[in-house]
């Protein structure tokens, strides 16, 4: 049974809470510095190690997927017992790391949390060294703090442009001509001319998700709210270009303002008024489970580029696996995660057909590039997308995501300023330039300067 509405909705909320918790944890600990040799974790030296590990994951579909994959791990390493626990990680992990009691050997974390928790985590540079050249650069970057790598990268969440192929074809709009955002605007104008009631492009109304989507757009341009040193870089030509596009969509009546997969959003997707949805790969949950009237009409393509020849995707969310310094058997936890992510038997157990997803886990792709081979799909074509080979689309798009930097601990707090001001712009109260100037001042004064 698919459960990706709770996961997709809580993924975003968890990302914000994760960053907020990380801010609190960072304030409790010392400044992050370069890792010492004693911070570097190693894999077990023996060929068939033994022992016991406790692994924390969130409850839900991914917990069940990882739980199934333990059997494949134990076929290879029969003497390692895995105690797999469903935990409210955001509520429990901070105190656990601070007190050092009942610390798990491994934990599933949003990428946004890694930098803030790194003082309490093992540097996994040596563990990842044999594979680092084959891991998506963006995923290594978001897990890197002062030269140390503090998470085993899990998934890649490439941004894609989902579109209602049936509705567009009926209106005489050729989606295959869309390669840039200017061409997306042209296609939206043509569709609106054919269907006057339409507001073809999704405009996110949630301040948090609107900011997360903004970062997907920014990722395409190789930028983000903060640079590698945590310095704010919002007031820039790249962000002005993105906000200018969103402002145009709103002013020309080309956008449906709705919260992600809320009642209004679903209604406008089903009635053919909203036909373009630039979002992370995990939007594919909607046509599979929610869009009963237009199921089978939707397709996916890489995001448009901001200019000819530009990147056709950006990152929107993502998670990794971390190993606390106070873990009892950290080497065995590293072995477990290395098997799941870098061994064919492991990543096939996660993304391939399983008891949870009989056709394979299709709401993300591996960040390990040999596992994300466009010609060797781990999940099957998606019937709700007209049997489209989403694997090929997503892996090719994922390969275009530019390099990145760690998410700053104040990211979630910025939603009160940037996320809110984007909505004010869409309400007609602010210009793009005013959003950037005002948000930069507020974030610097109220968040960064108070760290």
| Residue 323 token pair | 């190993």
pLDDT tens digits along 226-253: 998 889 999 999 999 999 999 999 999 9
Over pLDDT 70: what percentage of the chain?
92
74, 190: one domain: no
Q: Which of 301, 272, 277 is nearest to 201 (CA)?
A: 277
- Distance, in Å, from the CA atom of 72 to the CA atom of 70, rounded to the nearest integer, reads 5
> Does the residue 295 lie in any domain?
yes
> Does the residue 392 lie in any domain?
no
What was the pLDDT predicted at 406? 87
| Residue 35 token pair | 């890792």
* Longest pairwise C-alpha distance within the chain: 68
Q: How confident is the model at residue 186 (pLDDT cuts 50, 70, 90)?
A: very high
Average pLDDT over residues 89-115: 94
Q: How confident is the model at residue 38 (pLDDT cuts 50, 70, 90)?
A: low
Give the residues across from 81 on adjacent strands: 52
> Does the residue 388 lie in any domain?
no
- The structure's pTM equals 0.88
141, 172: one domain: no
Task: Categorise residue 348: left if φ over 0, alpha if ψ from -120 to 50, beta otherwise.
Answer: alpha
29, 46: one domain: yes
> Does the residue 395 lie in any domain?
no
What was the pLDDT predicted at 99? 95
Over pLDDT 90: what percentage of the chain?
85
In this structure, of 20-24, 242-246, 298-302, the range with the lowest mean pLDDT score is 20-24
- Distance, in Å, from the CA atom of 327 to the CA atom of 136, rounded to the nearest integer, reads 27
- Distance, in Å, from the CA atom of 78 to the CA atom of 303, rounded to the nearest integer, reads 44
136, 247: one domain: no
pLDDT at 132 over 80: yes
Site of tokens 């007031």: 235
Please give the residue range of the domain that contains residue 112.
4-157+317-380
> Does the residue 133 lie in any domain?
yes
What was the pLDDT predicted at 409? 82
> Does the residue 386 lie in any domain?
no
pLDDT at 9 over 70: no
238, 120: one domain: no
Q: HSE-up of 284 (CA within 13 Å, CB side)?
A: 28
Mean pLDDT, rounded, of the chain: 92
pLDDT tens digits along 202-212: 999 999 999 99
Sign, CA dihedral 130-133-135-140, equals positive
Average pLDDT over residues 388-410: 94
Helix boundaries (H) for 100-236: 111-117, 125-128, 137-142, 165-170, 181-194, 207-220
Q: How far is CA 77 from CA 47, 57, 83, 153, in A?
A: 9, 21, 14, 21
What was the pLDDT predicted at 113? 85
pLDDT at 5 over 50: no
> Does the residue 71 lie in any domain?
yes
Q: Could you give the 3-state DSSP secondary structure of residue 41?
A: coil
Q: How far is CA 38 from CA 106, 121, 130, 324, in A?
A: 18, 12, 20, 14
pLDDT at 413 over 50: yes
61, 210: one domain: no
**Buried-exposed string 312-321: b where 16+ CB fall within 10 A, e elsewhere:** bbbbbbbbbb
In this structure, of 37-51, 222-236, 421-435, the range with the lowest mean pLDDT score is 37-51
pLDDT at 21 over 60: no
Q: Which of 322, 302, 304, 290 is nearest to 365 (CA)?
A: 302
**Buried-exposed string 82-94: b where 16+ CB fall within 10 A, e elsewhere:** bebeebebbeebb
pLDDT tens digits along 317-371: 999 999 999 999 999 999 999 999 999 999 999 999 998 899 999 999 999 999 9
193, 257: one domain: yes
pLDDT at 29 over 50: no
What was the pLDDT predicted at 211? 97
128 contacts 152 by C-beta, under 8 angstroms? yes
Characterize the bridge pairing of strands 148-149 and 298-302.
unpaired
Average pLDDT over residues 389-408: 94
> Does the residue 399 lie in any domain?
no
151, 263: one domain: no
250, 268: one domain: yes
Characterize the bridge pairing of strands 148-149 and 144-145.
antiparallel
Q: Which of 420, 428, 391, 401 is nearest to 137 (CA)?
A: 401
CATH of the domain at 144: 3.40.190.10
116 or 205: which carries more pLDDT confidence? 205
Average pLDDT over residues 270-297: 97
Average pLDDT over residues 365-391: 97
303, 410: one domain: yes
Q: How confident is the model at residue 412 (pLDDT cuts 50, 70, 90)?
A: confident
**DSSP, residue by residue, 30-99:** PPP-PPPGGGB----SSSS--EEEEEEE-SSHHHHHHHHHHHHHHHH-TTEEEEEEE--HHHHHHHHHHH
Q: What angle, 0 to 180 degrees and rounded to 10, lies between the N-to-C axes of helices 330-342 and 61-76?
A: 100
pLDDT at 26 over 60: no
What was the pLDDT predicted at 14? 43
Q: Could you give the 3-state DSSP secondary structure of residue 446?
A: helix
Q: How many structural domains comprise the chain?
A: 2
């Amino acid at each position: 049974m698919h459960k990706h509405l709770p996961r997709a909705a809580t993924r975003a909320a968890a990302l914000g809470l994760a960053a907020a918790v990380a801010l609190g944890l960072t304030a409790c600990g010392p400044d992050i510095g370069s890792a010492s040799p004693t911070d570097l974790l190693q894999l077990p030296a023996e060929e068939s190690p033994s022992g016991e590990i406790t692994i924390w994951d969130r409850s839900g579909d991914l917990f069940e997927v990882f739980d199934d994959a333990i059997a494949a791990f134990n076929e290879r390493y029969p003497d390692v017992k895995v105690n797999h626990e469903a935990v409210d990680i955001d509520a429990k992990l901070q105190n656990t790391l601070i007190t050092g009691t009942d610390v798990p050997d491994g934990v599933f974390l949003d990428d946004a949390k890694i930098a803030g928790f790194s003082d309490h985590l093992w540097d996994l540079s040596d563990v990842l060294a044999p594979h680092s050249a084959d891991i998506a650069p963006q995923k290594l970057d978001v897990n890197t703090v002062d030269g140390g790598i503090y998470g085993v990268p899990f998934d890649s969440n490439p941004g894609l442009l989902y579109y209602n192929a049936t509705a567009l074809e009926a209106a005489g709009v050729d989606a295959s001509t869309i390669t840039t955002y200017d061409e997306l605007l042209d296609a939206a104008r043509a569709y609106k001319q054919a269907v006057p009631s339409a507001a073809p492009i999704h405009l996110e109304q949630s301040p948090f998700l609107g900011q997360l989507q903004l970062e997907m757009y920014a990722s395409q341009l190789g930028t983000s709210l903060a640079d590698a040193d945590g310095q704010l870089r919002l007031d820039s030509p790249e962000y002005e270009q993105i906000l200018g596009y969103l402002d145009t969509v709103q002013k020309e009546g080309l956008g449906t303002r709705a919260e992600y997969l809320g009642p209004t959003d679903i209604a406008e997707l089903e009635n053919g008024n909203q036909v373009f949805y630039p979002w992370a790969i995990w939007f594919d949950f909607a046509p599979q489970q929610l869009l009963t009237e237009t199921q089978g009409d939707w397709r996916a393509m890489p995001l448009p580029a901001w200019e000819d020849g530009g990147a056709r995707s950006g990152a929107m969310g993502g998670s990794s696996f971390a190993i606390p310094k106070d873990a009892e058997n950290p080497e065995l936890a590293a072995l477990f995660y290395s098997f799941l992510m870098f061994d064919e038997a492991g990543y096939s157990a996660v993304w391939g057909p399983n008891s949870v997803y009989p056709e394979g886990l299709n709401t993300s792709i591996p960040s390990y590039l040999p596992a994300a081979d466009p010609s060797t799909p781990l999940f099957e074509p998606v019937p709700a997308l007209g049997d489209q080979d989403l694997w090929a689309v997503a892996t090719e798009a994922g390969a275009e995501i530019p390099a990145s930097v760690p998410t700053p601990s104040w990211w979630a707090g910025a939603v009160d300023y940037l996320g809110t001001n984007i909505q004010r712009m869409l309400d007609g109260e602010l210009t793009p330039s005013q959003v950037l100037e005002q948000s930069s001042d507020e974030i610097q004064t109220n968040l960064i300067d108070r760290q």
